[in-house]
Amino acid sequence: MYTLGNVTRNTIAMVLAGGRGERLSPVTLNRPKPCVPFGGKYKIIDFVLSNLFNSGIKKVYVLTQYRAYELNKHIKESWARWAGLGEFFDTISPETNSASEEWFKGTADAIFQFLRFITDADYVAIFGGDHIYKMDVSQMISYHILNKADITLAALEVPVEEAKQFGIFSVDEDFRVTDFVEKPKEPVTIPDRDTCFASMGNYIFSTKKLVEVLKEGKKKHADLDFGKHVISMMLEKGDRVFAYNFADNLIPGMKPGEKGYWRDVGTIDTYYEANMDLVNVVPRLNLYNYKWPILTNQGNLPPAKTVFDEEGRRGQNLNSYICGGCIISGSTVRRSIIGPRCRINSYSLVEDSILFENISIGRHVKIKRAIIDKNIRIPDGVEIGYNPEADKLQGHTVTESGIVIVTK
């Protein structure tokens, strides 16, 4: 763990939250990936914003792009209200703020369009807005300063057999990066280990170097990207590029089993599995650690409620997350995550499923291994998740693993 006092004072964060999230379709048809619900009451972007907030970084720009209205609304109704004097959580997007009014062409191009926002900072934290994890970013900044680095790259230690799915760093004994290859056929391991360093897509830059490399890079690449262009440019120039091992990051209240937990949730299957992780008896992502809370807009909802205690008509929640405003009326919920303001009526059964906000489930309904989008009404007697062909005939999406996605 690396700490150097208040290193976050002169740090500005830029969160890349414009992703379309096509592999997470159809839940991303009407919202960007960072705004997809997770764990019932949260949005995916709440995890990176909570990490920054808890780390003491409260000067944050969220760069939005694709179908940005819902995400902008979420930031303003929750995060913007928690900023103090000289602090901010603000959204900026190319169609409204950029002088060129052009869509972002790459991750680094997005930062280039808004260089004027960062010139007063000593360090810039550039983080993705679509991953699930907990991290004390101040430790990564301290590591960056100790190494006198130009850029520090957050790295996930992964087995060799998984490394082909990621961008992989080659490092020396001091974790200085010597090479970077996207999805290599023969991944290079960390010295004296049988694991590899995979890119998490999170970076700490010294501001002066960031401005210099982006201006130079834009002369060569219209679609300037950190992974494709910037890192290799810096390595070629001999800049000080270091990898920060995410496994070294410790947060208050963390238990040993939580160390190194990070999920991409880039597909329906990985998104579903990460949500289901939460309902385990001992989850690897503990949302009940009040020393490092995941923050969001709590709303003004009453507590969840179960009603009826009759044989065959008993309101019960088993191994599940039930959000505020829900009524489980004479029905059973098992191993599921039920979002805010849902109602599940008598004699129904919901198992191994994820319900978004404001869903009404009729009587005698059976739902299994399903993801149901917000504001949907399921009529009496319907079955979902029991017959893939019948589900497809109803217009639902069914993944190869059998997860059913119900949208309007």
Tell me the percentage of the chain whose pLDDT exceeds 70. Answer: 96
- Tell which residue, 345, 252, 324, has the closest CA to residue 291: 252
Confidence label for 95 from pLDDT (cuts 50, 70 and 90): low
360 labeled part of a ligand binding site: no
Tens digit of pLDDT for each residue in 225-265? 898 899 999 999 999 999 999 999 999 999 988 999 999 99
Structural domains present in the chain: 11-277 (3.90.550.10), 305-406 (2.160.10.10)
- pLDDT given at position 82: 86
Instruction: Estimate to the nearest angstrom the gap between the alpha carbon of 133 and the chain centroid.
Output: 7
Residues facing 92 on adjacent strands? 63
Q: For the chain, what is the mean pLDDT?
A: 92
Report residue 402 as tokens: 């059998």
User: In which band, very low, low, confident or very high, does the pLDDT at 1 lie, cut at 50, 70 and 90?
Assistant: low
Q: How confident is the model at residue 104 (pLDDT cuts 50, 70, 90)?
A: low
Alpha carbon distance 200, 153 (integer Å):
8
pLDDT tens, position by position, 113-139: 889 999 889 999 999 999 999 999 999
Phi (first) and psi of residue 209, to 5 degrees: -70, -40
Least confident of 41-50, 90-99, 297-306, 348-357: 90-99
How do residues 72-92 score in pLDDT, each as one tens digit?
A: 999 998 998 888 888 999 998
| pLDDT at 102 (0 to 100) | 55
Residue 199 marked ligand-binding: yes
Rg (CA), the chain: 22
Q: What is the DSSP letter of 227?
A: I
pLDDT digits (tens, 9 = 90+) for 2-42: 666 577 889 999 999 877 778 899 999 889 899 999 999 99
Q: Indicate yes or no: pTM above 0.85.
A: yes
> How much is the pLDDT for 4?
60
- Tell me the average pLDDT across 43-56: 97
The answer to whether the beta carbons of residues 399 and 269 sit under 8 Å apart is yes
Residues sharing a CB contact under 8 Å with residue 37, sequence separation 6 or more, in sequence order? 43, 44, 339, 356, 357, 374
Does residue 336 have a known ligand-binding role?
A: no
Query: Which helix H or strand E contains 188, and what residues bound it?
Result: none
- Residue 258 annotated as part of some ligand binding site: no
- Closest CA relative to residue 280, chosen from 195, 337, 198: 337
